[in-house]
Chains A and B, each alone.
Chain A
Amino acid sequence: MIDHITGGEALNVLKIIGITGFTTESISVATNVKSSKMGRKDIVKIENRELRKEEVDRIALIAPHATISIIRNFEVYEKKGVEIPRYLIGVVRCPNPGCISNTNEPVPSQFEVSQKGLHCLYCDWMITNDIKNYIL
């Protein structure tokens, strides 16, 4: 279960974890739920699905306050927040069309995360806003 998703971002979270109309998981989605902490939030519940690290990193970018709980036998087995890591490898696409990471070279994109934004380690470009438009 992914809770405390920034209001309105649930469908983007589903997109990130590759859930489309053609996948078979059983999913519940709640959007714009009242939250004392966040005003409004979204919640996504997926059955029989564990998240990979790259997926959690992507979720952190659009929903930095999200919490991920693994529920087994109706009990919370594990609960943790998300954290944007220092380096994002293969998570976002470089907006610079001249960047070598946007070619057929066998490398994932590499960004360093700082206060100012995401910094492409290949071409030095910065992504400072609309980060979610560049999530792969």
Chain B
Amino acid sequence: MNHIISIRDLERTDIDCLLDKAALIHANCYDENSLKGKILALLFFEPSTRTRMSFDAAMARLGGTSIGVDSVEASSVAKGETLADTIRVVSGYADAIVLRHPKEGAARLASEFSSVPIINAGDGAGQHPSQTLLDLYTIRQSMPLEGIKVGLLGDLRYGRTAHSLAYALSLYHATLYTLSPKGLELPCAITEELTEGGTAIIEHDDVSTIIRDLDVLYVTRIQRERFPDSASYFRVASSYRITPELLSGVKERLIVLHPLPRLDEIDPRVDLLPHARYFEQSRNGIPVRMAMLQKVIS
């Protein structure tokens, strides 16, 4: 069955194929009734309004319908039902299931009990392949993915979007520059795995020294709760803040991405620069998720 659980399950050709399909959809070359009569179940055991809405919208654009639970409290999960049972029941109602769950590996488990395809929309600190695909898609709108230089900035330890993206970019022989506060570095296991696979990973602590080399700057949230007090948070956060001044003299094709919502990581004045692509990135969620739905339900 056509599950999409982890970006690691996809080969480069699968990714290219999905991105090509998304580009066609984006150019309005798609059948708006291709999923007519199909039902998508949205199982969100953790709130994520935007991801949910964008799957809802993607399904509607292809002529399909979506159903879902609005809150965990209202569902049988609150009564102690296992995820395995929920999936067995819900897969009888729908043609595919989008799952978001606080436990890592939940989507993998769901795929073992489901009679319909599962799309992972985030499981705990684990995988979130639809975000990675739309990140890649947004980069590819501006430049080919092969061999680019990408700066990953922010919380690289807990930020799952950065992990999946780093892995996916390694398939395209990217050079990765990591910029993160002390204690929030990319986990060793990931660095080792990527390095062994031939990816160059260069650690830096000052974004201004490398920003002129970069093609992509991927900024992630630095969460306040990772710091002992707000003074140390502000000190670190301000040294990782992206400003128009910092971006002066960068490559013309440099794009700045962020999975949103942002806190203080990017100065709002950056929004006006041609490098700022984070709002476009979030809008790209629709064609990319439409391509994913078409791939799994057919």
Contact = CB atoms under 8 A, between A and B. Distances in A.
A120 interface: yes
Nearest to A119: B189
Contact of B109 (A96, A98, A100, A125): A100
Contacts of A11: none
B295 to A, nearest CB: 23
Given A98-B124, A106-B84, A122 B189 contact: no
**By CB atoms of chain A within 10 A, which of B82, B105, B112, B125 has the most?**
B105
Contacts of B102: 98
B241 interface: no
Interface string B72-109: 00000000001110000000000000000111111011
Given A100-B106, A121-B108, 17 more contacts: A98-B104, A99-B103, A99-B104, A99-B105, A100-B101, A100-B105, A101-B105, A101-B109, A104-B82, A105-B82, A105-B83, A105-B84, A105-B109, A121-B105, A123-B104, A123-B126, A126-B189
Interface of B: 6, 82-84, 101-106, 108-109, 112, 123-126, 189
Contact of B104 (A104, A106, A122, A126): A122
Interface in A67-81: none
Given A105-B84, A106-B82, A124-B126, A100 B104 contact: yes
Interface string A114-136: 00000011111110000000000
Contacts of B84: 105-107
A98 B83 contact: no
A101 to B, nearest CB: 6
Interface of A: 96, 98-101, 103-107, 120-126
Closest 10 CB pairs of A and B: A122-B105, A123-B104, A123-B105, A100-B105, A100-B103, A100-B106, A98-B124, A98-B104, A100-B109, A105-B82
A43 B106 CA distance: 42
A106 B112 CA distance: 11
Contacts of B108: 100, 121-122
Given A98-B124, A126-B189, A107 B112 contact: yes
B167 to A, nearest CB: 10
Contacts of B112: 107
A45 B161 CA distance: 53
**By CB atoms of chain A within 10 A, which of B84, B101, B125, B126 has the most?**
B126
A122 B109 contact: yes
